[in-house]
Amino acid sequence: MRLKIVQAGEPELRQQARELSRDEILSPEIGQLIEWMRETMYDAPGVGLAAPQVGIPLQLAVIEDREQYLKDGPAELLSSRERKPVPFLALMNPRIVQRSGEEVEFFEGCLSVHGFSALVRRSRAVVVEYLDINAEPQRIEASGWFARILQHEIDHLNGCLYIDRMEPRSFMTVENLTRHWKDLPVAEVRIRLGV
């Protein structure tokens, strides 16, 4: 079942999501919600989806950066973003417990800000602690694009959208990003945009 992805302006996107209890995580209802969120993410398509994006204010996100999303990307671009496939993960009550001092900036989009993109500066690496589908504590050390996805989805669980962190002058339609900017290094984009 595909769920409706809510768009910017919906109250659920600006609220702190509620933590899940162990019993909730182990319930058939949460198991079903995870599967529906996975299908919705694939259908969009996207690399992450947080429960608030489907109107459910729970601390739950699903992530997967599928190999097929990377196959047509230029090797130089994938390398600069440190982008590699990420297997499917369902994260409950995730928390960033450590951030690198180094930050990187790339264009970022969101299924809840459909059709737009902007430059967003984020930590290059993070350590995230969360509960898995068995309500067992897990820890991820992620860098590059995987770290960006985690930060983006955890922001959703805290009522934050990428537009709150973006370089305002870089906000544009995905169509214009593709037409004018996508193949340029970020430093060149910043010069041309005057930021």
Q: What token pair was written down for 129? A: 């602690």
Give the confidence band of 66 by pLDDT, cuts at 50, 70, 90: confident
Q: Which helix (DSSP H) or strand (DSSP E) does residue 48 occupy?
A: strand 48-50
- Mark residue 4 as left, alpha or beta (left: phi above 0; alpha: psi -120 to 50; beta: remaining): beta
Mean pLDDT over 111-137 rounds to: 98
The backbone torsions φ and ψ at residue 28, rounded to the nearest 5 degrees and listed phi first, read -60, -30
Strand order from edge to edge, sheet including 116-123: 103-109, 116-123, 172-173
What is the model's pLDDT at position 101?
94
Q: Has residue 80 got a pLDDT over 80?
A: no
Residue 62's SS3 state is strand
pLDDT tens per residue, range 28-45: 999 999 999 999 999 999
Of 24, 88, 35, which Cα lies nearest the Cα of 59?
Answer: 24
Residues of the chain above pLDDT 70, percent? 97
Q: What token pair was written down for 173? A: 């339609």
167 is an active site residue: no
Catalytic choice (10, 39, 153, 188):
153
Mean pLDDT over 164-177 rounds to: 97
The CATH code of domain 11-104+124-161 reads: 3.90.45.10
Residues of the chain above pLDDT 90, percent? 86
Q: What token pair was written down for 105? A: 């900036």
Of 122, 115, 123, which Cα lies nearest the Cα of 167?
Answer: 122
What is the model's pLDDT at position 190?
94
What is the model's pLDDT at position 99?
97
Question: pTM value?
Answer: 0.94
What is the model's pLDDT at position 44?
95
Strand-pairing partners, residue 142, are 126
Give the domain ranges of the chain: 11-104+124-161
Residue with tokens 């169509």: 175
Q: Has residue 62 got a pLDDT over 90?
A: yes
